[in-house]
Amino acid sequence: MVADIIVFGAIWTAIYSMIALGFSLIFGVAKIMNLSHGAFFMFACYAAYYLSSSGLGLFWVALGAIVITIILAIVSYLGIIKPMRNSLTQVLILTFAFAMFLEQIIVITFGPEPRYVPSMLEGGMSILGVRVTHQQVLAFVITIVLILFLWWLLSRTNMGRIIRAVSQDREMASMLGINAEKIFIFVMGLSAAFAAVAGLLVAPFLTVTPAMGWSPILAAFTIVVLGGLGNVWGTLIGAFIVAYAEMITSYAFNPQLKEAVTFTIMILALMYRPNGLFSKGVSDA
Amino acid sequence: MTMFQVENLTKVYGKVRAVDDVSFSIQKGEFVGIIGPNGAGKTTLFHLISGVQPPTSGKVILNNEEITGKAPHLIVQKGLTRTFQVPRPFQELTVHENVEIVKSSKLSVHEQAKQIDHLLQQVGLGSRQSQLAGSLPQGDLRRLEMARALATNPDLLLLDEPFAGLNTAEIESLSELLLQMHDEGITIIIIEHKLKALMKMVKRVIAINFGQLIADDIPQEVVNNEQVLKAYLGDRSWDFAYNH
């Protein structure tokens, strides 16, 4: 049981990190609390389902689903978030409504019954005596690579430095010739891409349903409250805490209690550490 | 040659006319001071010119092109850059990174990268390039502001109280830097309360009170202008400003 907790805790730490990083990044840079982030995760799964059922190869299915999700996110930003961006409450309500809207569109288009998205890799292997599928290992590896990519982007490239500058003082960045609006669009796209990749990687071992986006957004919300909104490394630690708390609950007690534990962590964090365990702005370290 | 014009610029907040029908023009290569008591509308004027706030009415023209109400980053790319009263470094970036992120429409990325070292040497921060900007003392923060502003390759530079918070030695050193920038061809408009230091640098002074332009002349004339003296009466800031 301990080995199961260690192995699956690591896999879910990675996956939760990717979902929460996207959620945290757009808040850290543009102060947008995007509750439709989970819906992007769900939308990417359905996009992959639709594209794979039309006979495309897996690479094109993945690429297509990511690009479609990015476009959806940018359109939602320009159409509904940007006009209301200065009000955190309005953005919260609007993005929540947009997530519900997307869910209903998916129900109407694909029906409420679960769908199947094929694995990118078949078969499985043993780690610490625990049987895991190659798809789960792939999800872990790609997530780690993408987290390293994000670290490299933010800390080692001029685009990353500009993103960090905009997150610290948007007005001052504008006074130095930087188009902050373009940066917001880029980060919105990047954030959606992270949600989409997470969706594509876990869809083969999850049930793809129209409501599947709510559980990840709950986890992401809890993780960023723990880690501090906009704090990249805090987000990774938050993901570790939530993933292992869920795994311990699932294996030691009852899998049905998993989300109750996430809620409990969120409530405790909001009561005792509302600014996160290590509060600071978006940074590379 | 007129490079910059402000025509009947006005900003109204409710019943307050923070900037009231202000008009002036600046020739290429001028070094102009803007003075006025606290709350006169000087910084609001800079906000309207630089796109931080849209004016209620009036025009701002740079190099024969109207830039009124354009987004700040577009105004910077047209050649007009400003600094703020309180330095606003990106604290979690290094000194070098603070300058590196600046976007200039006049230089290629390669040329821009090459000029960063030169700029930081010029402002006296050559040895502090890898230090986090948040850890710099006040004087160096002003220098960093200058380096960032220069990195945009401005035709016209607006400086909002660059001497605020600096000691006498730092003011002298920064004055030298500003004169050097001016000698290199940059047109400068500077808001400053430390009039003694200001009058040593500029050849023309514009005075503002209650949002209105009350004087526009050579420094010697402006300091003796009746309306200017009246504007500062009872404010004691005139004595203070002129003796510090």
Check residue A76 and report its DSSP letter: H
A5 pLDDT higher than 80: yes
Mean pLDDT of A191-204: 93
Q: Which of residues 167-186 of A touch B (CB under 8 A)?
A: 168-169, 171-180
Q: Do B91 and A158 touch (CB under 8 A)?
A: no
A285 pLDDT higher than 50: no
Mean pLDDT of B190-214: 92
Q: Do B103 and A176 touch (CB under 8 A)?
A: yes
Q: What is the DSSP string of B11-45?
A: EEETTEEEEEEEEEEEETT-EEEEE--TTSSHHHH
What is the residue-averaged pLDDT of chain B?
90
Q: How far is A177 from chain B (nearest CA, A)?
A: 4
A284 pLDDT higher than 50: no
Is B79 within a domain?
Answer: yes
> What's the pLDDT score for residue B109?
76
Residues of B in contact with A158 (CB under 8 A): 100-101
Q: For chain A, give every domain's residue range.
A: 2-272
Q: Do B152 and A177 touch (CB under 8 A)?
A: yes
Is B46 within a domain?
Answer: yes
Interface list for chain B against chain A, based on CB atoms closer than 8 Å:
50-52, 71-73, 76-77, 81-82, 84, 88, 90-93, 97-98, 100-105, 148, 151-152
Return d(Cα B20, Cα A200) in angstroms, integer: 59
Query: Which percentage of chain A shows pLDDT scores above 70?
Result: 97
Q: Do B73 and A174 touch (CB under 8 A)?
A: yes
Q: Do B101 and A171 touch (CB under 8 A)?
A: no
Residue pair B136/B128 in contact (Cβ under 8 Å)? The answer is yes
B48 pLDDT higher than 90: yes
Nearest by Cα to A158 from B102, B123, B107, B128:
B102
B221: containing domain: 2-89+155-242
Q: Do A172 and B100 touch (CB under 8 A)?
A: no
Is B65 within a domain?
Answer: yes
Mean pLDDT of A274-285: 61
Mean pLDDT of B179-207: 92
> What's the pLDDT score for residue A282?
47
Is B215 within a domain?
Answer: yes
Mean pLDDT of B58-87: 94
Residues of A in contact with B80 (CB under 8 A): none
Q: Do A171 and B151 touch (CB under 8 A)?
A: no
Q: How far is B73 from chain A (nearest CA, A)?
A: 4
Residues of B in contact with A172 (CB under 8 A): 84, 88, 90
Give the H or E element holding residue A3: helix A2-30
| Minimal-distance CA residue of chain B relative to A179 | B73
> What's the pLDDT score for residue B244?
57
Q: Domain with B30 in it: what CATH number?
A: 3.40.50.300
A273 pLDDT higher than 60: yes
* Range scoring the smallest mean pLDDT among A44-48, A51-55, A188-192, A226-230: A226-230
The three-class DSSP label of residue B171 is helix
pLDDT band at B139 (very low <50, low <70, confident <90, very high): confident
> What's the pLDDT score for residue A122?
86
Mean pLDDT of A89-112: 95
Asked if A271 is an interface residue toward chain B (Cβ–Cβ < 8 A), one would say no
For residue range B74-98, what is the model confidence (pLDDT) as tens digits? 999 999 999 999 999 999 999 999 9
Mean pLDDT of A126-148: 92
| Minimal-distance CA residue of chain B relative to A177 | B73
Residues 6+ apart with CB under 8 A from A195: A19, A22, A23, A37, A38, A40, A41, A44, A69, A216
Mean pLDDT of A95-116: 94
Question: What is the interface pTM, i.e. ipTM, of the complex?
Answer: 0.85
Mean pLDDT of A27-45: 93
> What's the pLDDT score for residue B237?
59
Identify the burial level of B208 via C-beta atoms within 10 angstroms of its C-beta, where 0-12 means exposed, 13-18 middle and 19 or more buried.
Answer: buried
Mean pLDDT of A162-176: 93
Is B38 within a domain?
Answer: yes
Q: How many CB atoms lie within 10 A of CB A38?
A: 28
Return d(Cα A280, Cα A100) in angstroms, integer: 31
* Range scoring the smallest mean pLDDT among A46-55, A274-283, B8-17, B86-95: A274-283
Residue scoring higher pLDDT (B115 or B54): B54
> What's the pLDDT score for residue A95?
95
Q: Do A177 and B76 touch (CB under 8 A)?
A: yes
> What's the pLDDT score for residue A231?
78
Q: How many CB atoms lie within 10 A of CB A271?
A: 8
Is B95 within a domain?
Answer: no
B164 pLDDT higher than 90: no
Return d(Cα B174, Cα B167) in angstroms, integer: 10
Global pTM reads 0.86
For residue range A216-242, what is the model confidence (pLDDT) as tens digits? 898 998 998 888 876 788 889 999 999
A–B CB contacts, 8 A cutoff, strictly below: 67
Nearest by Cα to B153 from B186, B180, B120:
B186
The three-class DSSP label of residue A233 is helix
Check residue A63 and report its DSSP letter: H
A54 pLDDT higher than 70: yes
> What's the pLDDT score for residue A58?
87
> What's the pLDDT score for residue B215?
93
> What's the pLDDT score for residue B223?
85
> What's the pLDDT score for residue B242?
61
pLDDT band at A281 (very low <50, low <70, confident <90, very high): very low
Under CATH, which architecture does the A2-272 domain have?
Answer: Orthogonal Bundle (1.10)
What is the residue-averaged pLDDT of chain A?
90
User: How many structural domains are present in chain B?
Assistant: 1
Residues of A in contact with B93 (CB under 8 A): 161, 164-165, 168
Work out the end-to-end distance of chain A between its first and last CA atoms, rounded to an integer number of angstroms. 34
> What's the pLDDT score for residue A188?
96
B107 pLDDT higher than 60: yes
Is B143 within a domain?
Answer: no
> What's the pLDDT score for residue B196?
85
Asked if A55 is an interface residue toward chain B (Cβ–Cβ < 8 A), one would say no
